[in-house]
Amino acid sequence: MKILHTSLFASLSLLAACAGGNKSTDPNAGVYDDYYSEAPGDAGDSTASGDKEPEIAKTSESTSTTASSAAQIAKALNAKKPKVSGKKKKAAKKKRKKKKGKKFKVAFDGAVPNAAPKGSVVEIFGSGLDQEGLMVAIGGKPQEILEASEDRVVIKVTGGKGKLQLGKTPAKGKEFKPVDKSDYDFSVISKALGKRTTVENGLVGNVYAIEGEVTELPQFEQGSEIGTVAVDNLDINKVKPFKSMLGGRNEWYGIHFRGSLNITEAGEYTFCVNSDEGAQLYLDGNVIIDNDGANETPNEVCETFDVDPGEYGLDLLKYQSTLGPMVLQLTWSKDGGEKTAIPAANLFPPEDVADMAR
């Protein structure tokens, strides 16, 4: 196990020497604040800055309007609406009827992820998604809606096969007719990859196609993504062939997981990456674990550092060659304690998830 001493690791602008015990005296230390919102498009030219201080949420001054006098309020309440007669009355009636029968309009812009096991949560982006009676389906099978706003709806995958569809819940005995849908089939995959149970925590990954055979991590080009995945944490240990389709592929693809790591207590942390094929872990744009190469069997690489509380940008890259096992585990231990998978509570998705949607 390689230990990077404090003096060397400080030059990476990532971690600093631990002083004054395991608790930070900074009241904001280790508080997740979304500052890591500009993750690099690929590991090759990561641009996240370790010198960037976590931003503190700003509050804006509230504004108030001048209160109306009691006399003005009384006058407004007692005011009578003008009568509508003749053509104006017919026009008003027609307008009300048109409003009542307003066409149900929704639009699909993309989803994250577009491959997930049953029980996972998926964010769908678009417009008109807070309309009453909205139905989200996969190949005609209704999905459970957890929350909805005008431009985003969160669903829980209950199964199905085919395209993600948006439309109005049909009347009893009627067939569901989607108003808009994805260009691709949503992949309901095996649980081996791990579920995403909340949109508040975890990591999101872009999937890239690898053209030709490689024996180490290739350059992932921003803009050439073929799919997305999302997990609570990384504890994938599929020793049998992983046949699930990610971005339409089950071999020769790479995944770039993105997000941030929130550390609340100072200490000596050992980070480990176990992978069956090439993988690298970056914190704040610096490679801290290099486990690259064509491993015939799962290989684990660990590094130990003194870590101060704070939020660190996290990028983890892995490639998958021919159809076979899928092993990718990101673990840690503190001060020589038990090694465990880094929990979802310490991992946060990138702020620009909507831009990753497909």
Is 223 among the domain residues? yes
The pLDDT value recorded for residue 18 is 35
The pLDDT value recorded for residue 64 is 39
Placement of tokens 């090694």 in the chain: 339
Is 249 among the domain residues? yes
Say whether both 126 and 269 belong to one domain: no
Say whether both 210 and 121 belong to one domain: no
State the amino acid at position 193 in one-letter form: L
CATH at 210 = 2.60.120.1560
**Considering 170, 187, 204, which residue would you say is the last residue of a domain?**
187
User: pLDDT tens across 38-63, in order?
Assistant: 434 444 444 343 443 333 233 333 33
Say whether both 256 and 315 belong to one domain: yes
Looking at the 3D structure of the chain, how many domains does it have?
2
Distance of CA 91 to the CA centre of its chain: 49
Is 257 among the domain residues? yes
Say whether both 148 and 195 belong to one domain: no
User: pLDDT tens across 93-107, in order?
Assistant: 555 554 455 678 999
Is 236 among the domain residues? yes
Per-residue pLDDT of the chain (358 residues; tens, 9 = 90+): 343 433 334 434 444 333 334 444 454 556 666 544 443 444 444 434 344 333 323 333 333 333 444 555 444 444 444 444 455 555 655 555 544 556 789 999 999 999 999 999 999 999 999 999 999 999 999 999 999 999 999 999 999 999 999 999 999 989 999 999 999 999 999 999 999 999 999 999 999 999 989 999 999 988 889 999 999 999 999 888 999 999 999 999 999 999 999 999 999 999 999 999 999 999 999 999 999 988 778 999 999 999 999 999 999 999 999 888 899 999 999 999 999 999 999 999 999 999 999 9
Say whether both 217 and 265 belong to one domain: yes
Structure tokens at 103: 């066409």
Say whether both 281 and 319 belong to one domain: yes
User: pLDDT tens across 220-255, in order?
Assistant: 988 889 999 999 999 999 888 999 999 999 999 999
**Considering 137, 163, 187, which residue would you say is the last residue of a domain?**
187
The pLDDT value recorded for residue 302 is 98
Say whether both 115 and 135 belong to one domain: yes
Structure tokens at 208: 């890239």
Say whether both 180 and 213 belong to one domain: no
Is 143 among the domain residues? yes
The pLDDT value recorded for residue 199 is 97
Say whether both 198 and 303 belong to one domain: yes
Structural domain boundaries enclosing 116:
107-187
The pLDDT value recorded for residue 39 is 38
Placement of tokens 């209704």 in the chain: 142
Say whether both 226 and 296 belong to one domain: yes
Say whether both 257 and 202 belong to one domain: yes
Is 221 among the domain residues? yes
Is 90 among the domain residues? no
Is 229 among the domain residues? yes
Say whether both 162 and 202 belong to one domain: no
